[in-house]
Amino acid sequence: MGRILIIEDDERRCSWFSNQFAKFELDTTADVSLAIEWLLQREYDLIFLDHDLALEHYEQELADDGLTGYAVASWLAEHPECQPGVQIIIHSLNFPGSDRMRQCLQNAGRDAEHVPFPYLPSLLSSRRPANRKD
């Protein structure tokens, strides 16, 4: 079975992910602590990572309150033994925050790329995680 972690706060986007990946096991949260807990407990084939996980983050390009997607990216960078080899797609529309997350992950040797949410459908039409749940 394939499992995907989606770190996202927008309900419309969460619904889109649920519809797009209905044949996969999905774990969806906007809570940094819960995301890290799941990363320690479960194996993922793919991680979708948003930067702005609360309304107050939308006004800040580089929020550092420990509650953004950057906190998850930083944690993954510091724990290379956790989810080694997982593909990470940063789908945030916060370009400075996304670039910072991507650089943090790539500097740690992680497979990470930034694909803004509106471009995900065209990207996903050309590739999918290999393992689907039956």
Give the separation between CA 63 and CA 70, rounded to whole angstroms.
9
The alpha carbon torsion through 82, 102, 44, 6 (nearest 10 deg) reads 130
Identity of the amino acid at 109: G
Q: Please report the pLDDT score of residue 57 as a whole number.
A: 44
Interval 30-89: pLDDT, tens? 999 999 999 999 999 999 999 888 555 445 555 565 678 999 999 999 999 999 999 999
> Which amino acid, one-letter code, is at 45?
D
pLDDT band (50, 70, 90) for residue 124: confident
Average pLDDT over residues 12-37: 96
**Any idea what the Cα angle at residue 81 is, between residues 79 and 87, rounded to 5°?**
85
Structure tokens at 18: 């649920």
- Domain encompassing residue 115: 3-126
pLDDT of residue 62: 56
Domain count, the chain: 1
Which pLDDT belongs to residue 132?
46
SS (H, E, C) 5-32: EEECCCHHHHHHHHHHCCCCEEEEECCH
CATH code of 119's domain: 3.40.50.2300
Query: Does some domain include residue 132?
Result: no
